[in-house]
Amino acid sequence: MEAKKWGFAITLIFIFAVVPLTLLILQNPNKPWEFVDKILGILGGDDSMYPSGNYKVNGDHIQDLSVSPNLSSCHASYGRTDLLVHCCPSESQGEEAIIDFQFPDPSTPLRVRMPAHHVDDDNIAKYKRALTIMKSLPDSDPRSFSRQANIHCLYCTGAYDQPHSNLSIDIHRKWFFFPWHRMVLHFHERIVGRLIGDDAFALPFWNWDSPDAMTLPGWYMNDPFFDDQRDFSHFPPKTMILNLAYMYKQVVSGAKTPELFMGCPYKAGEGGVCDGPGTVELALHNTMHKWVGSNFQPEREDMGAFY
């Protein structure tokens, strides 16, 4: 399970870091905020902007179509049809209220994410300290490494049902993919920073479409970053190839509209299910998952299939 945890940190970091910036700059050079607005609309952050998007009027009744989990409904789910995956927290979450997101106070320090191959020793030391603390926390602590890692599993293979429904939640292959992963990173990063009392701590990212950074970042070969459930043949100095071509196709030429980039609209209830991943999910996310994952397991688990 240790390996899975490691997968959490590294995958999400590269997914988050490379794409949005490139997209904002290349795809929408004059109007990047339009895209940000779309994402906020999709997240349900500003109802006035997209009045019809997440709501349906049934007579006088307005139905909220935002997808949400029933936190009391956690159950084992299927990683593959023949594989039940267990990642529910040991204690019930049912009584925990869901807290609305608050944007950070603008006066708080800006977190500046650095590419992993340029992070200095001080920052590696901070990250190391934070991860060591995180890994030492008991499983009952939601900030612990295993609980953080399991968040992906909980929402990936259908561990939660939607309220008033037997339909489970799956954050892949739809427009949830991108904002959901960004959200997880956002909170993970805040937790990491809080554990070492550094409100400006920023997660490094693997800048794998840069010619200088096409190997696994070297310091990931050491504890507490190292994971022995990886494809050893892909350890440094092995380089990823075709990255630039992938990046251009998935972020620029193949992603001309928000829908192509983000994936299909996903809404609550029977009518809201969809299966149509965006370009950000397909080649970029899936290829890297598999490249890093363990070649000893059928689905290259522990990064390939990342429950």
CA pair distance 231, 295, nearest whole angstrom = 5
- If one asks whether residue 165 binds ligand NAG (CB under 6 A), the answer comes out as yes
**Binding range to ligand NAG, per CB under 6 A, among 20-28, 163-171, 223-231, 247-255:** 163-171
Binding residues for ligand NAG, how many (CB under 6 A)?
7
> Under rule CB under 6 A, which residues in 44-83 are in contact with ligand NAG?
70, 72-73
The residue among 167 and 191 lying less far from ligand NAG, judged by its C-beta, is 167
Please report how close the Cβ of residue 75 comes to ligand NAG at its closest, in angstroms.
8
* Pair 263, 174: CB distance under 8 Å: yes
Query: x-or-dash pattern for ligand NAG, window 235-274, by CB under 6 A?
Result: ----------------------------------------
Shortest distance (Å) from residue 61 CB to ligand NAG: 17
Minimal distance, residue 179 CB to ligand NAG, in Å: 23
- Pick from 102, 107, 166, 257: which binds ligand NAG (CB under 6 A)? 166
Q: How far is the CB of 207 from ligand NAG (least distance, A)?
A: 42
- Considering the rule CB under 6 A, would residue 98 count as an interface residue with ligand NAG? no
As a whole number of Å, the end-to-end CA separation of the chain is 10
Choice from 45, 142, 163, 269 touching ligand NAG (CB under 6 A): 163
Q: Which of 236, 241, 242 is nearest to 217 (CA)?
A: 236
Site for ligand NAG in 3-32 (CB under 6 A): none
CB of 154 to ligand NAG, least distance (A): 14
CB of 187 to ligand NAG, least distance (A): 23
Q: Which residues bind ligand NAG (CB under 6 A)?
A: 70, 72-73, 163-166
